[in-house]
């Protein structure tokens, strides 16, 4: 075996050496920021750079064009540095003053900088490549002095005012003019290097330009703009001198050859020189800091020679490009053949090695197979044991969850039976002071016991909350304001100022709204505990400099936290001193929630000065995995719904079937009827004691008994527990709300579990109110009274549907309970389908589960009309109300269930004596 390993190592070393004979060269990234790139001179500069870079395949060029905008160039430079790992910057500043601070900062950040064409104000750069613009200005002045023989009037068209090239060329020109007394600068125009601007200025100043002996434009493009404007104004023979002398169609050299320009000063682009200088800097070779390119005057005499020379250079460059392409192709072929050879040699060597290894492995394989079989058997046994233990853990966890749920429920029911009677006794006016003091002491201790139960449930909730994050995009302002809204009554009661400010540009955060609401509520609850009256609590949102994190701060000016407690404040069950009563898990729970969101929570505090808790949360959703994002069709998590099955406070007393019991539960025909459903005898008796003096009561202790009594009674309101012996009160709620005849009956849930999920599920099932145990008697009485009053108001509002003038009459005399139920069912059914044009008497009979003949007889007996007449009159009454709402007649006819507007108008006139249009005009004046 040792020999085989030695041979393998030798062959691997051989293959590595054979495949690694080529040394990888270092890769560089050069960024080039051009001030403006839409003219031929700068396009030539870029082309020269790319041509020179063809000799350096290991260099990548990033190009940015600022389009003549200094602020845009600054932004592009910042983006190049922040978004890319650049090794060197080549920059042609648009203007010296605005660009200098930015270029200086890059130079001081140890990024090599090569400035080309135009300089900065400070001179902080590694190298400059370009012509001496002062020398160009001076040469232009000397040339004009020569042409004019020392006397004449000249004009200039300068470049962009803030660019170093314009400033320096003007300086050089002025040096010559200062010594040439016979030459006068009669006109000085300020262009921006573009042909269009020069053309516009020349059009405005054409007469003045025509009187000049010579015109100097600071580049050929502006010179051609001046020449075009003068020709259009009839001035054909002005002598115009430019700067650039660039080869190519419609450029300076061609214009000189064709006689359009008088002369131009050669201004080399320096693209190739800039790249050579950059490469020397990157490779740490010697280089010249100021690379001054030579210039010369190009006129009619030497323009043709320059054009020929440029064409020859272009031809040679094309030949070089072809040769480089051929060399690159040959290099690819060579590398491909070298790779194949290496693979072939390696394959042969490995074949020999693997052949020897295979022989050895075959001999020892049968031994290893036996060992593997033994190990696999052991692993399978361990896996089975782990699965069994995992199932046991899950069963234990589920049993623990059920235990906590049941225990908390059983705690809260006796607490309800303690706190509610105490509240009733405290309301008595004839109590002695000693008795009232004893009752208040009992109430305080019962409330403390209630708080201990809450802490008990909180601890269990936190242990079971190890869940997957379910984050979604949440509007942060409305989210925080919603949480603060639940604390406003407490703030008013304690006279504490509660405010919220968002100083960030962030409007949405990816959070789990359920968990984050608990975290924020915990922090606010702590702030209220430790803030005195007249104090201040502020929720503040800010963002960091880069905008990738927001800081959600909860600040107060309370008693603060001691320095010795700061390091332990987020530990489980730790309680600072002094502290109000609590479980000591709130802040540990906050820390866990924030870390689930990939954030951090910190605290700063000073005793007697207040505290500041800060949640540092990432913006966007890039930090979230797919499992941590909420599914679009995901409903409220079942693990926290508790299904409202705590509403036990509304259960009923044992069934009272005797005449005495029924008389005791019946108060009067005018009183409203309440059905109370609860399996706890004491709760039923307590609720009976509370409501017996005001309402008729129907009591039930199970779901079956409640359904049986609902078949013979029609209560005005139902108070129901959820966890009943033979089913769920939630099922009864859904049955009632899904039934047309009973959907209007208010349904109140009482629950021993007071969580947001439980409340939400109850309300989503269309419960009219959800009250937790223990409840306040006055609160419960107010809820019941408000619900009954609102139903009475609705009934009064819609009573006009059966008014005496225009609708059918109900027979005189008292109606039986059965007749009342029939009429209520009939009204609700017809009202629900009133807009259905296909509604027939057969449909109504089927819905009421009676025959058509029975329906006809009942209608005649109770309504004194046929069903068809009843339906038409109900539709006309609805149409009347819709007219009052100002709707169009055609739309009213459709919503009231008439097949056509004509039929509706005829029926309306027959019933009310006037057309719908006349009725509308009479009431609404339109």
Would you say 597 and 516 are in contact if contact means Cβ atoms under 8 Å apart?
yes
Which H or E element spans position 131?
strand 127-131
Where residue 26 falls among pLDDT bands split at 50, 70, 90? confident
pLDDT at residue number 638: 35
Largest Cα–Cα distance in the chain?
137
Lowest-pLDDT range of 77-81, 713-717, 731-735, 921-925: 921-925
| Mean per-residue pLDDT of the chain | 81
pLDDT digits (tens, 9 = 90+) for 875-892: 888 888 888 767 888 888
Three-class secondary structure of residue 549 per DSSP: strand
Q: Mean pLDDT across the stretch 1-7?
A: 54
Calculate mean pLDDT across residues 409-423.
73
pLDDT score at 464: 53
Confidence of residue 811 (pLDDT cuts 50, 70, 90): very low
Tens of pLDDT, residues 513-538: 888 888 898 899 888 888 888 899 99
Residue 127 dihedral angles phi and psi, to the nearest 5°: -155, 155
Long-range contacts of 603-609 (CB under 8 A, 24+ apart): 603/561, 603/566, 603/569, 603/570, 605/560, 605/561, 605/566, 606/560, 607/559, 607/560, 607/561, 607/562, 607/563, 608/559, 608/560, 609/557, 609/560
The pLDDT assigned to 10 comes to 57
Q: What was the pLDDT predicted at 829?
A: 83
| 673 beta partners | 696
Which pLDDT does position 644 carry in this prediction?
Answer: 29
pLDDT tier at 653, thresholds 50, 70, 90: very low
Nearest to 646 by CA among 333, 330, 407: 407
* Percent of the chain scoring above 70 in pLDDT: 85
Whether the per-residue pLDDT at 199 is higher than 90: the answer is: yes
- The band of 88, judged by pLDDT with boundaries at 50, 70 and 90, is very high
Distance of CA 324 to the CA centre of its chain: 52
Report the distance separating Cα 278 and Cα 62, nearest Å. Answer: 14
Inform me whether the pLDDT recorded for 747 exceeds 70.
Answer: yes
The residue assigned the tokens 């131009």 is: 264
The secondary structure of 198-210 as a DSSP string is HHHHHHHTHHHHH
Q: How many residues does the chain have?
A: 926
Region 358-381 average pLDDT: 85
Per the CB < 8 A criterion, the answer to whether 583 and 573 are in contact is yes
pLDDT value at residue 494: 85
Question: pLDDT at position 122, please?
Answer: 87
Query: How is residue 162 written in tokens?
Result: 């803030």
Average pLDDT over residues 293-298: 88
Closest CA to 844 of 827, 860, 857: 827
CA terminus-to-terminus distance, the chain: 107
- Residue 699 binned pLDDT confidence (cut-offs 50, 70, 90): very high
Q: What is the mean pLDDT of residues 10-15?
A: 55
**Cα 469 versus chain centre, distance:** 16
CA atoms within 13 A on the CB side of 858: 19
The closest alpha carbon to 261, from 295, 197, 292, 216, belongs to 216
At 11, the pLDDT band (50, 70, 90 cuts) reads: low
Averaged pLDDT for residues 274-297 = 90
Q: Are 807 and 879 in contact (CB under 8 A)?
A: no
Asked which of 283-292, 457-466, 746-755, 814-823 is least confident by mean pLDDT, the reply is 457-466
Query: Cα–Cα distances in Å, from 89 out to 58, 97, 286, 291, 650?
Result: 16, 18, 18, 16, 78
Task: Identify the weakest region by mean pLDDT among 60-69, 319-328, 586-595, 719-728.
Answer: 319-328
pLDDT confidence of residue 518: 82
- Burial code of 463-499, b = ≥16 C-beta within 10 A, e = fewer? eeeeeebbbbebebeebbeebbeebeeebeeeebebe
What is the arithmetic mean of pLDDT over 14-26? 54
Helix (H, G, I), strand (E, B) or coil at 719: strand
Q: How confident is the model at residue 212 (pLDDT cuts 50, 70, 90)?
A: very high
Predicted pLDDT of residue 617: 94
Q: Which among 87, 191, 216 has a CA at the least distance from the CA of 141?
A: 216
Rounded CA gap, 317 and 276, in Å? 17
For the cut 80, the answer to whether the pLDDT of residue 576 exceeds it is: no
Q: What is the pTM of this model?
A: 0.36
pLDDT > 90 fraction of the chain, expressed in percent and rounded: 22
User: What DSSP string describes 239-283?
Assistant: -EEEEE---STTSHHHHHHTTSSSEEEE----HHHHHHHHHHHHT
Q: In the 8-state DSSP scheme, what is residue 317?
A: H
Is residue 18 pLDDT above 60, yes or no? no
Give the residue from 187, 274, 257 showing the smallest Cα distance to 220. 257
Mean pLDDT, residues 463-479: 78
Mean pLDDT of 387-396: 83
pLDDT, residue 462, reads 56
According to the model, what pLDDT value does residue 317 have?
73
């Amino acid at each position: 075996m040792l020999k085989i390993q030695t041979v393998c190592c030798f062959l691997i070393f051989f293959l590595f050496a054979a495949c690694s004979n080529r040394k990888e060269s270092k890769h560089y990234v050069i960024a080039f920021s051009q001030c403006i790139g839409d003219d031929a001179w700068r396009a030539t500069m870029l082309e020269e750079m790319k041509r020179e870079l063809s000799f350096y395949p290991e260099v990548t060029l990033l190009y940015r064009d600022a389009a003549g905008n200094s602020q845009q160039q600054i932004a592009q430079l910042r983006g190049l540095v922040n978004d890319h790992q650049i090794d060197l910057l080549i920059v042609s500043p648009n203007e010296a003053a605005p660009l200098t601070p930015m270029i200086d900062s890059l130079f001081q950040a140890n990024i090599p900088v090569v400035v080309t064409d135009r300089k900065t104000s400070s001179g902080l750069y590694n190298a400059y490549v370009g012509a001496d613009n002062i020398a160009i200005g001076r040469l232009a002045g000397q040339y004009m002095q020569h042409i004019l023989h020392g006397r004449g009037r000249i004009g200039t068209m300068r470049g962009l005012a803030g660019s170093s090239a314009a400033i320096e060329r003007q300086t050089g020109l002025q040096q010559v003019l200062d010594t040439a007394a016979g030459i006068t600068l009669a006109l000085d125009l300020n262009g921006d290097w573009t042909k269009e601007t020069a053309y516009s200025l020349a059009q405005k100043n054409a007469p003045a330009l025509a009187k000049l002996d010579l015109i100097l434009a600071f580049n050929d493009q502006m010179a051609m703009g001046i020449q075009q404007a003068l020709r259009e104004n009839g001035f054909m023979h002005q002598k115009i001198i430019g700067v650039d002398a660039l080869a190519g169609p419609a450029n300076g050299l061609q214009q000189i050859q064709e006689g359009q320009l008088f002369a131009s000063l050669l201004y080399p682009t320096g693209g190739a020189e800039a790249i050579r200088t950059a490469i020397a800097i990157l490779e740490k070779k010697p280089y010249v800091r100021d690379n001054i390119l030579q210039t010369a005057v190009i006129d009619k005499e030497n323009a043709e020679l320059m054009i020929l020379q440029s064409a020859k250079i272009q031809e040679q460059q094309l030949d070089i490009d072809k040769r480089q392409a051929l060399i690159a192709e040959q290099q690819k072929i060579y590398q491909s053949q070298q790779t194949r050879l290496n693979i072939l040699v390696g394959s042969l060597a490995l074949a020999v090695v693997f052949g020897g290894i295979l022989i050895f492995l075959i001999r020892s394989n049968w031994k290893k197979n036996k060992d593997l079989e033994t190990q696999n058997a052991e692993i399978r046994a361990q896996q089975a044991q782990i699965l069994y233990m995992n199932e046991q853990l899950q069963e234990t966890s589920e049993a623990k969850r059920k235990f906590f749920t049941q225990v908390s429920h059983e705690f809260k029911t006796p607490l309800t039976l303690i706190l509610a009677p105490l509240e009733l006794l405290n309301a008595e006016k004839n109590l002695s002071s000693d008795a009232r003091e004893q009752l208040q002491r009992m109430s305080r201790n019962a409330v403390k016991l209630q708080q201990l139960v809450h802490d008990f449930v909180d601890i269990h909730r936190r242990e079971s909350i190890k869940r997957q994050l379910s984050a979604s995009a949440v509007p942060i302002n409305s989210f925080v304001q919603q949480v603060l809204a639940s604390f406003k009554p407490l703030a008013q009661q304690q006279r504490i100022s509660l405010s919220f400010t968002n100083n960030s540009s962030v409007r949405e955060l990816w959070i789990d709204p359920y968990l984050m609401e608990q975290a924020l509520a915990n922090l606010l609850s702590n702030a209220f505990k430790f803030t005195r009256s007249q104090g201040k609590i502020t929720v503040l949102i800010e963002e960091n400099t880069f905008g990738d994190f927001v800081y959600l701060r909860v600040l107060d000016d309370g008693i603060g936290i001691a320095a010795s407690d700061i390091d332990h404040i987020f530990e489980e069950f730790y309680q600072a001193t002094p502290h109000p009563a609590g479980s000591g898990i709130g802040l540990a729970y906050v820390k866990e929630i924030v870390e689930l969101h990939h954030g951090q929570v910190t605290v700063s505090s000073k005793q007697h000065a207040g505290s500041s808790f800060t949640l540092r949360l990432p913006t966007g959703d890039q930090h979230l995995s797919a499992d941590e994002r909420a599914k679009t069709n995901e409903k409220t998590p079942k693990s926290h719904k508790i299904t409202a099955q705590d509403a036990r406070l509304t259960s009923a007393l044992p069934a009272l079937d005797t005449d005495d019991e029924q008389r005791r539960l019946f108060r009067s025909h005018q009183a409203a009827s309440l059905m109370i459903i609860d399996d706890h005898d004491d709760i039923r008796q307590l609720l009976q004691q509370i409501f017996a003096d005001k309402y008729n009561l129907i009591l039930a202790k199970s779901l079956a008994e409640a359904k049986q009594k609902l078949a013979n009674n029609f209560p005005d309101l139902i108070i129901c527990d959820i966890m009943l012996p033979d089913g769920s009160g939630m099922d009864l709620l859904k049955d009632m709300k899904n039934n047309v005849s009973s959907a209007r009956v208010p349904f109140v849930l009482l629950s021993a579990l007071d969580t947001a999920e439980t409340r939400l599920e109850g309300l989503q099932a269309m419960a009219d109110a959800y009250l937790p145990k223990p409840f306040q008697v006055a609160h419960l009485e107010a809820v019941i009274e408000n619900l009954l009053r609102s139903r009475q108001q609705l009934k009064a509002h819609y009573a006009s549907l059966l008014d005496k003038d225009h609708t059918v009459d109900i027979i005189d005399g008292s109606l039986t309970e059965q007749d009342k139920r029939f009429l209520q069912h009939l009204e609700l059914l017809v009202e629900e389908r009133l807009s259905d044009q296909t509604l027939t008497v057969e449909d109504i009979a089927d819905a009421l589960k009676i025959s058509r003949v029975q329906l006809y007889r009942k209608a005649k007996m109770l309504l004194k009309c046929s069903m068809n007449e009843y339906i038409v009159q109900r539709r006309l009454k609805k149409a009347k109300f819709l007219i009052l709402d100002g709707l169009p007649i055609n739309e009213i006819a459709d919503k009231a269930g008439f097949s056509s507007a004509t039929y509706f108008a005829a029926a309306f006139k027959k019933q009310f004596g006037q057309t719908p249009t006349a009725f509308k005009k009479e009431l609404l004046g339109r």
